A and B are shown apart, each in its own frame.
Chain A
Amino acid sequence: MPDFGLLSVIIWLPALAGALIALFAGNAAGARWAALAVSLLQWIPGVMLWRAFAPGAGYQFVERNAWIERFNVEYYLGVDGIALALILLTLLLTPAAVVAGWRAINRRAGLYYGALLVQQGLMLGVFCALDSLLFYVFWEFMLAPMFLIIGVWGGERRIYATVKFFLFTFLGSVFMLVALVYLYLQSGSYAIPDLHAQPLSLTEQQWLFFAFLAAFAVKVPMWPVHTWLPDAHVEAPTGGSVILAAILLKMGGFGLLRFGLPVTPDAAAQFAPLIVGLSLVAIVYIAVVALAQRDLKKLIAYSSVAHMGFATLGMFIPLSRASAEGAALLTLGMGGGMVQMISHGFISAALFMCVGVLYDRAHTRRISDFGGVANTMPVFAVLLALFALANAGLPGTSGFVGEFLVILASFRAEPLVALGAGTILVLGAAYSLYMIKRVLFGEVANEKVAALADLDVREAIALGGLALLVVALGLYPGPLVELMEPSLDALARQVMAGKAGAL
């Protein structure tokens, strides 16, 4: 009896609709509206999932069908609180990504929107997969639509950027494939819960941990394998940047929580100081790099790397030293990392859309080409200022909650690290405010700026919606935390119990 349900719907609806749009969409307007309709329609199963989800009841909405019988590979889907939070993020942001290309994408729009929707389906598949090979299928095939989105509709150096993106991530991922095959040969199963339960010696865990790290660190991206990101962001069209920053990067963090920590807990604890160190470098050094950028998109791209460093810091700092609080501290740290990732999803999407708004009108992204934009685009200026401040961690916005939780966890584990991490509050404020000052305030810099028109209705709805989410999450993060907490707690206990002792 085939076993399909809501999760299959949210994965395959956009994937199939995207394929149809790519093949048959006659004109740009049709493709746009169809993509918007599908991405909004997706909210219905999304809300159903959210309403029916019971936090703390393990994996839910499970669908389990045999797939490749000889190797015990299954079509096995299910979500816990962590995955559901990221699924909701994806569902919320895809319409924004569709709107972001509304003006700019006129050439081969069918292929563009088709690729965007296929991309959405694949990303949701990554969050839903409970079979590691199925996870790999979604994870890897995602490279194809993104390769096209950057390469066909990107900027001047788009080909260099997209090939670099593909090869970097592909190289990381193949090591994960080797690790998954090794785990299958040990456990006889590709099911992720079985991999979590599989006892492994410390040496095995060390190798496996680095194989997983190769895949996930590139995606996060952690310093020093982040170099593809600024290139990809700068060249990608706005919609691509939104998807890339808001959702694709989160997959790296999600992968660490799904594989890195629970499959190889002892190795994760052993190498936690290394990850913490790399995260700190990302937070401090990359933030300084962001300060020096002249291109708006590059600035936001580097700020993304710094913020994702915060997420990985939260996940690993509680492991870096044995502490009495143990699992509770790990729950706190991972929760902070997750909130940080969700919040960064909204904020970075909004910031990239703001840059897109400016670029669509003025066809430049150089900060020095702007100045005094607040005079000609007042509504836009308010929103951009809000998002920039949220990016800097202003209390009352979602950016604050994640950073606060991570710093709290760091402080309990290792106060000195918390001090280092705290610099992001200063540096983040510095590059955000400096950017606002140069772009928004002052005299109207030139004729181009003088000719700027304020937001149209679609842009206002999309950015206004994101602003509401950012503020709502900042003031009342309770529902999000409650959604994830039981799953994070279970995960933390499992990680803390370790594995090597069972052998």
Chain B
Amino acid sequence: MRAELALAALVPVALLVDLAAGSRKQAVTRAVSLAGLALVAWAAIKAPNGEMFGGSFAMDGLARILKLSGTLLTGLAFAYAPRDLKAAGALRGEYYLLGMFALLGVFVTASAGSLLTLYLGLELLALALYTLVALQRHCAQAAEAAMKYFVLGAIGSGAMLYGISLLYGLSGSLLLDEVAAQGSAGAGSYVAAALVLAGVAFKLGAAPFHQWVPDAYQGPPLGVAVILATVPKLAYFALIVRLMVTGLPVAQEQWNPLLIVMAAASLAMGSIVAIAQTHAARLFAWAAIGHVGFLLLGVAAGSGEGLAAALFYTLVYTLMVAGAFGVIIALQRQNAPLDSLRGLYRRHPGLALIMLLIMLSMIGLPPLAGFLAKWQILMALIEQGMTVLAVVAVVFAVVAAYYYLRIVRLMFMEAPEEEGRLTPGWTTTLLLSANGLALLVLGIWPNFLLDLCRAAFASG
């Protein structure tokens, strides 16, 4: 709870600092926010395990790792984003405030022990995100994206809330443990599971509920998209674990086939449609749908190993995406068409090599972290006898390789559109290098993170 309180206190402090510093000195707000996030991370490490509010709120291994990762990703986004936001005319103190509100939503969701806290956290996160997408409010494209995101997100939330109310009606309790204990595999729980799963799929952007994703990524400035593409994924992972795996274990036989179909459809949609994209954020949006499919397969394996693999996948994937958006922001091109990556190696070899690492990790080339993530999911699937699904997954991984290779091709094998060296600034270069190299380091020395992920599901 300490970390949540620290974060909740940080937001008004940052707001006051922002007011005092005036609209021209966002650097101060940023510095205060980043320092505050470091404190929050420390608090999250130190916070003891245990339950509060009669089990509505729980700190455990899973919550801790998601909170730490969320704080790190928010920090990275705050570091990468200002350059892009400034160019888009959307650099305001609110960006940091909303980013931290979204993070608070992630924190609450990650620790949720009851249906109520879960929904509370999710809506806090969602409202902050809707507003973030609309940050560049005079831009029609951003407004359109925000509107779509809001309306579809509300439908998703509605479906989930309906499912949650059914669960409450069936079990007579809001606590997830009791919901699970009271549950029976009847028609009621089937409908509830289907509704909840639809809500989860909306949030995650899994097919067939994925239509909002490309617009939501492309509409707002990249500085907002980088948050949208990374931080919330952690909360949605917590959501699926807490609500489906912890809350609805009896109905797993009923919802697992739905999950498998959604995962396979996401893999197919994401891998195939992304091939035709010409816009960087849009490409990563479709790619995200594919990746979500892959990590859902880990959940669908239905074992502790599978969940640990899916958690590892989520952590590594969000780190890769943060780095990829970081590089694209450093290109300083409004709207970031894919062509802006052309000839990057000539304009800034370091950035191109970092992006190369990230793309190879996305493809799943060993020994990068992205490979270990995919490999663990495969192991979990085959262990459960789902070898056919494993084969489907690797085949779509090969399809997906095509568009990551296209990015490598643009960077190394094409002439730049505009000459002149890029000057991303040394802090950005340093951070991006750390971000990219982390994928290699995690791939070569994975034991620590693997053990953390496994320990988070030790009882599973």
Which A residues are within 8 Å of any B CB, using their own CB? 22-23, 68-71, 108, 111, 133, 136-137, 140-141, 143-144, 147-148, 151-152, 158-159, 163, 166-167, 170-171, 174-175, 177-178, 181-182, 184-185
Contacts and interface: CB of A to CB of B under 8 A. Distances in A.
A177 B378 contact: yes
Interface in B339-398: 345, 349, 353, 356, 360, 363, 365-367, 371-372, 375, 378-379, 382-383, 387, 390-391, 394-395, 397-398
A70 B413 contact: no
B402 interface: yes
**Which of A23, A111, A174: most chain B CB closer than 10 A?**
A174
A187 to B, nearest CB: 13
A140 B367 CA distance: 9
A360 B435 CA distance: 41
Contacts of B451: 70
Contacts of A144: 356, 360, 365
* Top-8 shortest CB links A-B: A174-B394, A137-B366, A171-B398, A151-B413, A137-B367, A181-B382, A181-B379, A140-B366
A158 B405 CA distance: 13
Contact of A167 (B379, B401, B454): B401
A178 B390 contact: yes
Contacts of A22: 353
A198 to B, nearest CB: 15
Contacts of B360: 141, 144
B398 A170 contact: yes
B454 A163 contact: no
A147 B366 contact: no
A174 B413 CA distance: 26
Contacts of A23: 353
A164 to B, nearest CB: 11
B-side interface size class: 35 or more
Interface of B: 345, 349, 353, 356, 360, 363, 365-367, 371-372, 375, 378-379, 382-383, 387, 390-391, 394-395, 397-398, 401-402, 405, 408-409, 412-413, 446-447, 450-451, 454
Contacts of A184: 379
A166 B413 CA distance: 15
A184 B454 CA distance: 19
A108 B345 contact: yes
Contact of A68 (B353, B387, B405, B446): B446
B447 A69 contact: yes
A238 to B, nearest CB: 18
B273 to A, nearest CB: 18
Contacts of A158: 413
A266 B412 CA distance: 46
5 contacts: A69-B447, A133-B366, A148-B408, A181-B379, A182-B382
A71 B366 CA distance: 16
A296 B240 CA distance: 59
B375 A181 contact: yes
A163 B409 contact: yes
B387 A182 contact: yes
Contacts of B450: 68, 70
Contacts of B390: 178, 181
B413 A152 contact: yes
Nearest to A150: B413
Contacts of A69: 447
Contact of B405 (A111, A141, A163): A163
B409 A178 contact: no
B308 to A, nearest CB: 9
Given A158-B413, A181-B390, A71 B401 contact: no
Contacts of B402: 163, 167
Contacts of A175: 391, 394
Contacts of A68: 372, 446-447, 450
Contacts of B395: 171, 174
Given A133-B375, A158-B413, 19 more contacts: A23-B353, A71-B379, A111-B349, A137-B371, A144-B356, A144-B365, A148-B412, A166-B405, A170-B363, A170-B398, A174-B394, A174-B395, A174-B397, A177-B375, A177-B394, A178-B382, A178-B394, A182-B382, A182-B387
A178 B395 CA distance: 11
Contacts of A167: 398, 401-402, 405
B413 A141 contact: no
B371, B395, B405 — most chain A CB neighbours (10 Å) = B405
Contact of A141 (B367, B375, B378, B383): B367
A147 B413 CA distance: 11
A136 B398 CA distance: 16
Given A108-B345, A178-B387, A147 B378 contact: no
